[in-house]
Each structure stands twice: as structure tokens, then as C-alpha cells.
Amino acid sequence: MKRFFLLPTLIITLFITSCSSDDNDDGTIDGSATLAGSWNLTEFYSEDGSFSTTILNIPVNFPMSITGKDYDLRIDIGENPNMVTGEGSYVTVASVDGLPDAEPVETTINASELEGKWSKNGNMLTVSQESEETVFEIVTLNDTELRLKQSFSEEADILEYSATLEADQYFVFTRVQ
């Protein structure tokens, strides 16, 4: 599965498992609500993002953020078979504050990057595509909202820096009525 995050020369998307909790999560899981159905992406954002590297032999850490815009993405979560399909796209805007020469990077994410076979275990949702699995924490699930959290830590070469990128990403969906 393609990943959901892009920075200056990296141009890749990230989507990795999350097992940590966030004090700002106000989510709830309604036991009677089902994942099955159509969902529109209404918000995408990151929290606790960092870009860590070494400059002139000095370790440095810069704040990093990812936001979304131009939301026109719908996913359909089906049962029997358990498949996620979608249509449309949205745009991510990734930025690193304080890193010299780092400009915000906008990247279009297509629905096909979210598609695959799904399974649920407790509050963890796994989406599989080819040989890659992506695991989300279900933060909120009720009749109207699905909020997914995904934490990542990724090594990357960006500009002339070898860096570690870390953040919690949130995907907020509203059920199509």
C-alpha cells in the first residue's frame, strides 16, 4: 500500500501501525456502530511531528506538521468480502519548521492508495494491499464519525539530510447517509 506522507525530495506516503495513546483523543467506540458503509474524508492532520537529523555533527530536532485540504475522497468499507474501495482524492501539505530551504510540499493522495482487504481486532483496523499491511487505531467509531490514528517513525533522505520522521496522523471520516 502506498503511504500517506510526503516531504521535499522524499515524495512517499507513510502508513504504519500505532499502539500509543494521545491525551487529546476524545474518541469513543460505540459497540453497536459498524465500520461497513460509505465514509467521506473530512479532515486529515498530524500531531507530535518531528524531523530529527544531524547538522555539522550536532543532533537537531525540528517540528513537523502535516495537514490536509481539498477533500474529495470517499471510501466504501464492505463486508463479505471485507474490502475497502474508494474514489476521489485529497491533498496533504507537509512542512518542517526551522529547517533551512524546506518549503511546504503539497501532494495529492488518490483513493486507490487506501484500498485493500480489511480486518478488525479490538480497536485495531488492518488494511492489506499486496504484501503490505497498514494498521490503524480506531479512536472514534459511531453512527456518524470514524476517526483513525496512525503513528509512524521513518528514516528518509530529505534535501541533503538523513533524518528520522515521526508523527501521529489522524484521518476523520463522516458516514455518508
Residue 93's pLDDT is 94
* pLDDT for the residue numbered 105: 86
Predicted confidence (pLDDT) at residue 2 exceeds the cutoff of 60: no
Average pLDDT of the residues in 153-157:
86
**CA gap 136, 143 in Å, rounded:** 19
Tell me the average pLDDT of the chain: 83
Interval 48-104: pLDDT, tens: 999 898 888 899 898 999 999 999 999 999 999 999 999 999 999 988 888 777 788
Helix (H, G, I), strand (E, B) or coil at 42: strand
Helix (H, G, I), strand (E, B) or coil at 34: coil
- CATH code given to domain 37-175: 2.40.128
Indicate the length of the chain as a whole number.
177
Q: Where are the domains of the chain?
A: 37-175
25 pLDDT higher than 90: no
Q: Quick one: DSSP state of residue 97?
A: T
Q: Long-range contacts of range 105-108, CB-CB < 8 Å, 24 or more positions apart?
A: 105/6, 105/7, 105/8, 105/11, 107/6, 107/11, 107/13
Which residue has 502535516 as its cell numbers?
66
pLDDT at 161: 77
Question: Which of 150, 122, 148, 121 is closest to 13 using CA atoms?
Answer: 150
Mean pLDDT across the stretch 135-142?
A: 95
